[in-house]
Structure 1
Amino acid sequence: FLTSKIHNASTVATLSTVLCTRHLLDQGFKYVLTFKFPSDRVESLFSAVRQLNGFNDQTDDYGTLSSLHEILVTGIVKPSLHANSRLLKFEIGAPLQKPALQSAALP
């Protein structure tokens, strides 16, 4: 039922959520809605790596690194305009800047 790969992936996902939540709480947030954490960009990256490897779900290290290199060189991964996260624009090699916080009106 629970393979070691699924166990490891679940452990990494859970640990990263816990660490991110702790950081936000340490920065003064009163609460954190973890279900709002976007995953569209991660899913888009995994989809691109899989596509570049012939839709192979069990790619090897070389195939993954080769795909990531091609993605970085060509910049082919872009989030959907209808995704649940904002599109951040940046140029390769330019220093990253924090996006301006925008408050959204609740319905």
Structure 2
Amino acid sequence: MIQIADIREWRTHDVLDVGGHKIGMLEAVYVNTSTDEPAMVTVRVGLPTRHHLVFVPLADAIAGPGYVKVGYDRSLVKKGPAIGTDDVLPAEDEAAVFAHYGLPYQPGANGERQLARR
């Protein structure tokens, strides 16, 4: 697993898909609130005047010099739930991010979020 201290250093570096194709630029790291381990990143995608952020799980990610390679295809990532570059993910939209990748979603016992930006 990629350590949070390491991945923070790669903000603005390339995020590559499973085939090595560039998806976009790493914007932020989100941790699992139960474990405080890195769970997802947001990736800046889109045209220069119309950027948005998409979420990508880090489950099978590989970190290299200047890039993070994720275990998902670029087309799947770009079709995922997105937020504006200055927005935050609403709590009610978290489950949709997990569902897009076929991952289980489990909020906290009192309805706490599963993801937190670091």
TM-score band w.r.t. shorter chain: under 0.3
Larger radius of gyration: 1
- TM-score, length-scaled by structure 2: 0.24
Relative CO higher for 1 or 2, CA cutoff 8 Å, sep ≥ 6?
A: 2
Normalising by structure 1, report the TM-score: 0.25
Q: Indicate the structure with greater helix content.
A: 1
Name the structure with the higher strand share.
Answer: 2
